[in-house]
Amino acid sequence: MLGEDDYGLEWQAIHNWLGRLAAHSPFTYRHSLGVASLALNLARIYGMDQGECQAIYAGALLHDVGKITITNALLMKKGPLTREEWLVIKNHPRAGVELLTASGISPGILEFVAYHHERWDGGGYNGLKGPDIPLGARIIALADAFEAMTSQRPYQQIRTLPNALAEVENNAGTQFDPGLVPVFFTMIHKLMKTASSLPLIRP
């Protein structure tokens, strides 16, 4: 269990890594902030306690930090990826865990970074399936996919909100935890009532 001093040092390390990510890839940095906002709100509405919410928020902020090891040319490539390029991209969760481990990031947060590309049906990067995937990683995976769908990318056309929500619904039980999807819809509707866009909400 982290003491108060350790907790402060861990968040300092998190902010340091975010600074490095922003310098390397501003696009990935902005994406990470958006994912963290969605993941935090989803965790709160799901009923997780403050400590769990903060860990998920931290994991979401750091989920793509391994992309620091990937060139911007590859991160922003518009055309199809070669097999070699895909393997480099696929390695970013593992690369992130290796970088963060050396910084003293707690195992619970590392777990979320490691498994944020798992799928409920077992078709993800590491083949974890269903409840074997840590809940925080399932939350981040859903937030990650939704933020990606609703953000402009050089290699992917932005989706409208109704289209993105339909995609989430259609993939409940395959890509996404079917128990999280209704909670995610509740969260989106609540956010739409309070703001014209999805705000960045910090713990």
Q: How far is CA 164 from the centre of its chain?
A: 16
Please identify every residue annotated as catalytic: 67
Q: DSSP secondary structure string, 53-110?
A: HHHHHHHHHHTTGGGGGS-HHHHT--SPPPHHHHHHHHTHHHHHHHHHHTTT--HHHH
For domain 4-194, is the CATH number 2.40.50.100? Answer: no
| Percentage above 90 pLDDT, the chain | 79
Q: How far is CA 111 from the centre of its chain?
A: 12
Q: Domain limits of the chain? A: 4-194
For residue 38, the tally of other CB atoms under 10 A from its CB is: 27
Cβ(150)–Cβ(161) below 8 Å = yes
pLDDT at residue 2 in the model:
46
- 3-31 pLDDT, tens digit per residue, is 444 556 789 999 999 999 999 999 999 99
